[in-house]
A = this chain, B = another copy of it.
Amino acid sequence: MTAAPSDSVVLAWTRLERAHRAALGGVQTRLKKAGLPSLEWYDVLLELERAGPAGLRPFELQKAMLFAQYNLSRLIDRMEAAGLVARSAIELDGRGQVLHTTRAGRALRRRTWPTYAEAIQHAVGRHFSEAEARTLASLLGRLHRAVD
């Protein structure tokens, strides 16, 4: 049995929803206007690049992005069809595969960043001081790490 949430908690939750929708909408609109791929695609490319030459297994990517399994499976389908990522079999686990970005995928991500950065600044950055941004990031980080 959990205690009832305080008013501040309920407010924080509600605003998390709304703030997220507001910021997301703003960012997506800007990316779309620039003819760039969606945020999800960017995130996949970034996570894969960060993973380095070892690449990432789909289930690892799934955990990192908090994506549903079936959802990620089909997202990778589309990105593979677009030539941005590559699946390759892995010898240690016959079920599994490893994902890598392609040259085109890395190029696209690089090309996307300036617009994305500007969108982030517009949707989020300009509303906060440096200290506030740090506080916000720190508080939100706790929620991310606590996935049950």
Interface residues in chain A, defined as those with a beta carbon under 8 Å from any beta carbon in chain B: 2-6, 8-13, 15-27, 39, 65-66, 117-118, 120-128, 130, 132-137, 139-144, 146-148
Contacts and interface: CB of A to CB of B under 8 A. Distances in A.
A136 B26 contact: no
Given A2-B126, A22-B66, A9 B120 contact: yes
B117 A5 contact: yes
Given A2-B118, A4-B121, A25-B66, 8 more contacts: A3-B125, A5-B124, A6-B130, A13-B23, A15-B144, A18-B65, A18-B66, A18-B144
Q: How many copies does the complex hold?
A: 2
A147 B25 CA distance: 9
A142 to B, nearest CB: 5
Contact of A121 (B9, B18, B125, B134): B9
30 contacts: A4-B121, A5-B120, A5-B121, A6-B130, A9-B120, A9-B124, A9-B125, A9-B128, A11-B133, A12-B140, A15-B137, A15-B141, A15-B143, A16-B136, A16-B140, A17-B39, A19-B144, A21-B66, A22-B143, A22-B144, A25-B66, A25-B147, A26-B147, A122-B148, A124-B143, A127-B142, A128-B139, A132-B139, A135-B135, A135-B139
A137 B12 contact: yes
